[in-house]
């Protein structure tokens, strides 16, 4: 019975088919979700370490083989560069998955749990919508180029440098001791390929590698980086966190929509939308072009995660209505982005 509800007087956070989820239960659910996202992020973090281990072990084995077997061609070291590139691409892909889960963890840490500790002691206005959109429509938070650059700077650039030094050392020692750089170039020859061509190809490869390393430094969408540099979104010039969203949160990440509802029951429908969705509605007068019958037209600003709720309300309150949704570039006002920039 409603009168016997121990949560009497407390507004439920979530209702469904007679069941009510109250504040304490909501917090418990959020804790379980947080633990689940941390677990998934840890799984993909371990996969990153596994790929790096493959690269290190392969490089060690190849270098050992190249320097202990006089008859082994230096081609085996160049083939190791190809293997390293495959490992790098694989690890970058895994890093994007890791960022997907870790970005959700950071969103809950900064906009839910951290908000409990400082005034005004409430979550950010749009954190729930942003988290819900990530759960319903997952998207990689960082680009493949940024993932490649980050893994390259953290691990693979050093491995590539070790391989390059080992390759030059191999050419300087085998098949005979080189006395000049010209001898090293001659030792780099492979069957029908001249030493000059082989050295040029390797040099171009390393130049592109260093270009990728430095070009991607400015890409900073990753949420899992610690001790990041100052001077980008989320920080003030005095090296303190700016007020508002966490630095990795993207403005306008939620897809905003405008719903147009043609109905003959505008009052009942608008009352339900205001009461259940906490959204306002504008009622206009309309006329059917074919029947010339008078109808009311409701305009409602919503987000992509509220479409299902709106459809359920229309189906229940006015099933004969006609509903259209259109994407909106920006919606300013209460419940969306502020009219005045802070």
Which of 188, 218, 248 is the C-terminal boundary of a domain? 218
Percent of the chain with pLDDT over 90: 21
* CA–CA separation, 38 and 49 (whole Å): 17
- Alpha-carbon 262 to chain mean position: 37
- 52 & 156 share domain: yes
Position 229 scores a pLDDT of 41
Position 7 scores a pLDDT of 40
Lowest mean pLDDT of 109-118, 262-271, 326-335, name the range. Answer: 326-335
Quick check: is 229 in a domain?
Answer: no
Across the chain, where does the E strand assignment appear?
A: 14-16, 19-21, 256-263, 282-287, 294-303, 322-328
- 78 & 160 share domain: yes
Quick check: is 245 in a domain?
Answer: no
CATH number at residue 311: 3.30.70.120
| Mean pLDDT of all residues belonging to the chain | 80
What's the predicted TM-score (pTM) here?
0.66
Quick check: is 288 in a domain?
Answer: yes
Task: Look up the domain containing 261 and give its range.
Answer: 256-328
pLDDT (tens digit per residue) in 140-157: 888 899 899 999 998 999
Token pair, residue 278, equals 């906490």
Position 24 scores a pLDDT of 79
Tell which phi-psi region holds residue 115, choosing left (phi > 0), alpha (psi between -120 and 50) or beta: alpha
User: What's the mean pLDDT in 80-101?
Assistant: 93
Position 166 scores a pLDDT of 93
Q: Indicate the DSSP class of residue 260.
A: E
* CA–CA separation, 107 and 115 (whole Å): 11
- 197 & 145 share domain: yes
- 171 & 301 share domain: no
* CA–CA separation, 333 and 340 (whole Å): 9
The total number of structural domains in the chain stands at: 2
User: What's the mean pLDDT in 97-115?
Assistant: 84
More confident residue, 126 or 52: 52
More confident residue, 308 or 1: 308
Grade residue 20 by pLDDT with cuts at 50, 70 and 90. confident
Quick check: is 78 in a domain?
Answer: yes
Which of 172, 193, 218 is the C-terminal boundary of a domain? 218
- 277 & 150 share domain: no
- 196 & 290 share domain: no
Token pair, residue 244, equals 């508002």
pLDDT (tens digit per residue) in 167-217: 999 988 888 888 888 888 888 898 888 989 999 999 999 999 999 998 988
Quick check: is 33 in a domain?
Answer: yes
Position 86 scores a pLDDT of 95
Residue with tokens 């050392």, as numbered in its chain? 169
- 173 & 265 share domain: no
Q: Sheet of 322-328: strands edge to edge?
A: 282-287, 294-303, 256-263, 322-328
């Amino acid at each position: 019975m409603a009168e016997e509800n121990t949560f009497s007087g407390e507004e439920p956070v979530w209702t469904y088919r007679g069941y009510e989820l109250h504040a304490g239960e909501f917090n418990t659910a959020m804790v379980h979700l947080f633990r689940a996202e941390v677990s998934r992020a840890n799984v993909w973090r371990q996969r990153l370490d596994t790929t790096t281990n493959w690269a290190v072990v392969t490089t060690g084995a190849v270098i050992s083989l190249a320097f202990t077997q006089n008859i082994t061609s230096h081609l085996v070291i160049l083939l190791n560069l190809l293997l390293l590139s495959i490992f790098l691409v694989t690890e970058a892909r895994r890093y994007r998955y890791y960022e997907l889960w870790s970005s959700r963890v950071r969103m809950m840490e900064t906009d839910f749990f951290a908000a409990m500790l400082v005034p005004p002691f409430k979550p950010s206005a749009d954190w729930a919508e942003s988290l819900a959109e990530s759960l319903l429509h997952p998207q990689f938070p960082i680009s493949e180029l940024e993932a490649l650059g980050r893994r390259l700077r953290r691990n693979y650039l050093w491995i590539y440098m070790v391989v390059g030094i080992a390759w030059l050392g191999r050419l300087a020692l085998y098949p005979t001791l080189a006395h000049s750089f010209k001898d090293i170039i001659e030792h780099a020859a492979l069957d029908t390929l001249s030493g000059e061509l082989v050295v040029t190809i390797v040099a171009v490869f390393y130049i592109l590698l260093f270009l990728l390393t430095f070009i991607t430094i400015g890409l900073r969408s990753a949420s899992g980086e610690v001790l990041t540099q100052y001077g980008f979104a989320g920080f003030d010039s005095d090296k303190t966190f700016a007020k508002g969203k966490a630095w990795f949160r993207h403005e306008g990440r939620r897809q905003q929509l405008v719903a147009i509802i043609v109905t003959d029951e505008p009052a009942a429908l608008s009352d339900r939308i205001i009461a259940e969705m906490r959204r306002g509605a504008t009622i206009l007068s309309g006329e059917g072009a074919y029947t010339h019958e008078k109808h009311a037209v409701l305009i409602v600003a919503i987000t992509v995660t509220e479409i299902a709720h709106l459809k359920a309300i229309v189906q229940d309150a006015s099933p004969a209505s006609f509903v259209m949704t259109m994407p909106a570039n920006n919606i300013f006002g209460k419940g969306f982005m502020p009219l005045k920039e802070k």
